[in-house]
Every structure is written in structure tokens, then in C-alpha cells.
């Protein structure tokens, strides 16, 4: 039987000289950005494929812990979205990634809730420049449902 130690534990307790954890990885204070959007394009019609809803701006120098999204009611038989981010404010550091956090939140026929799944590109991602959170429509919405609300919450720590 072998014993193994995680990186931060090794740096603090098993290495001389001591190596401290990266900022935000020890005693970090979790912060949350929350925003909402009523799923209509303003013309009493559903959203179309590739329509983008721009949300809150994630500040620079953060570590993303989780992203949650919910749609409070069915948007008919259709209506699928992905949650990601636009390119970083400097235009080069972080490329846009439409489904970095949630590939599919599907409210076709029911209310929906999703969290960042294992393996999501943005999960535990360090963002050194600010990025704007986005929701992208990946399946046309039913035009008769225009009052459902999409809520997105981003949990992060400063790093």
C-alpha cells in the first residue's frame, strides 16, 4: 500500500522551503454572479439557433468553481441552450467558448436545471482576463412560449 499527497498539501507540509497554494486555493472566499433573462427576443417570438444572450462579466483573475443554470418552465417542445463565455476583454487570452460550462440545458417539455458537468472546459478554469458569460440557443424555441426565465449563476474565487 502506498501513500500519496495532493499538491497543495505537499507544498505546505512536505516541502522545504514551503510552497504556498495559489491564491484562492486556500481560505478563498466564494463569490457568485447571478443574472436572469426572460426568453423572448422582444418581438413576442422565441429565440432562433445561434442567438446569443450576453450575461454577467466574470472579472479577471478568478478560478471558476461551478456554473448553474435553470429555466423555470417548459419552453414548448423545443428550446435548448448552452452556457459558455465570450472572448476575453483583451481579445486574445481566452477564446470564446459557447459551451465551456454547460453543453445542454433542455427545457423542451419541462423546467430544466443543469450544473457544470465533469470534464467541462471551463470547470476549475483560471480566467486571467475578464470574460462575459453567454447563453447560446442551440435549438429554435417555440414562438408561443415567451415568459420562461433563464437564470445563470457562476461561482468563483479570486486568484
99 pLDDT higher than 90: yes
Phi, psi (degrees; rounded to nearest 5) at 37: -150, 130
Alpha helices, H only, the chain: 7-9
The domains located in the chain, with CATH, are: 27-158 (2.60.120)
45 pLDDT higher than 80: no
Q: Across residues 100-124, what is the average pLDDT?
A: 94
* pTM for this model (two decimals): 0.87
Amino acid at each position: 500500500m502506498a501513500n500519496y499527497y495532493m499538491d497543495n498539501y505537499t507544498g505546505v507540509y512536505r516541502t522545504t522551503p514551503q510552497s504556498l497554494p495559489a491564491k484562492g486555493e486556500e481560505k478563498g472566499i466564494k463569490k457568485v454572479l447571478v443574472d436572469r433573462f426572460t426568453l423572448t427576443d422582444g418581438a413576442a417570438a422565441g429565440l432562433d439557433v445561434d442567438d446569443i444572450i450576453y450575461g454577467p462579466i466574470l472579472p479577471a483573475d478568478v478560478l471558476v468553481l461551478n456554473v448553474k443554470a435553470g429555466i423555470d418552465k417548459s419552453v414548448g417542445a423545443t428550446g435548448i441552450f448552452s452556457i459558455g463565455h465570450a472572448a476575453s476583454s483583451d481579445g486574445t487570452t481566452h477564446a470564446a467558448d459557447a459551451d465551456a460550462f454547460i453543453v445542454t440545458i433542455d427545457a423542451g417539455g419541462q423546467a430544466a436545471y443543469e450544473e457544470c458537468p465533469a470534464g467541462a472546459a471551463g470547470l476549475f478554469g483560471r480566467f486571467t482576463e475578464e470574460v462575459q458569460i453567454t447563453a447560446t440557443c442551440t435549438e429554435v424555441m417555440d414562438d408561443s412560449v415567451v415568459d420562461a426565465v433563464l437564470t445563470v449563476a457562476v461561482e468563483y474565487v479570486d486568484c
